Amino acid sequence: MPATATNRFPAFVLPASMLLAAFGLKWWYRSATTEELGFVLRPVVTLVGLISGESWTFNSEHGYFFPALNVLIDRSCSGVNFFVITAATFAFIVLKNTKGGCARPLLALFAAVAAYGLTLLANTGRILAMIHLDHLQLHPSPRAHEAIGAFFFLFALLLATLALDRFLSRHSTTLDAHTT
């Protein structure tokens, strides 16, 4: 529906709310502790432990340590930045591709939940890839470590974004018919 004087404000509220939430999460993340980041770290650590078959210990000052792997997963490994970017990207793709009507906030919320799931999977894969490199006796420098992580996250975001956009483009007429 084109923006008119009567519906322009509501069309602005959802994207503005999403951006405000993203900035709020980024602001909170600046001072968040490892314990406070447990909502993203604990599931990742659990998956890494299940897949690697190794156990870990938790120290609130340092993070999750896998002694057999000599790997520490701390707040810098949380993937919060990736989550913020992915949630915003998914939500804006959903809002761009569907009319959605009154279901738009629900679709945007679903996009955030999907971004959380992708964050956990991509972060787990990134950490397992770094563990595999270590097993191969390849020990990247801190800068290379960050570059590999950025590449891993960028690749995951690109694939997921293309898949979501393609799915919504193919099914937008079906979605629009059900919401109008």
Strand partners, 63: 59
Q: Are 44 and 76 in contact (CB under 8 A)?
A: no
User: Cα angle vertex 81, ends 75, 84, to 5°?
Assistant: 130
Alpha-helix residue ranges (DSSP H) falling in the chain:
8-29, 38-52, 80-97, 104-135, 142-179
Residue 117 token pair: 């799931």
Domain-embedded: residue 41: no
Neighbour-count burial of 111, counting CB atoms closer than 10 A to its CB (0-12 exposed, 13-18 middle, 19+ buried): buried
Alpha-helix residue ranges (DSSP H) falling in 98-135:
104-135
Strand partners, 73: 64
Domain-embedded: residue 103: yes
Domain-embedded: residue 65: no
Q: List average pLDDT for each run of 10 residues in the chain, which is 180 residues long.
A: 52 79 92 94 97 94 94 93 93 75 77 94 95 90 91 95 86 57
Domain-embedded: residue 44: no
Domain-embedded: residue 148: yes
Which domain, by its residues, includes 127?
8-33+77-179
Domain-embedded: residue 69: no
Q: What is the pTM of this model?
A: 0.83
C-alpha dihedral, 146 to 40 to 21 to 97, nearest 10°: 80
Q: Are 12 and 3 in contact (CB under 8 A)?
A: no
Q: How many domains does the chain have?
A: 1
Q: Are 78 and 40 in contact (CB under 8 A)?
A: yes
Domain-embedded: residue 108: yes
Q: Are 120 and 45 in contact (CB under 8 A)?
A: no
Domain-embedded: residue 138: yes
Nearest-angstrom CA–CA distance, 17 and 22: 9
Q: What is the pLDDT of residue 63?
A: 95
CA distances from 122 to 27, 102, 170 (A): 23, 31, 25
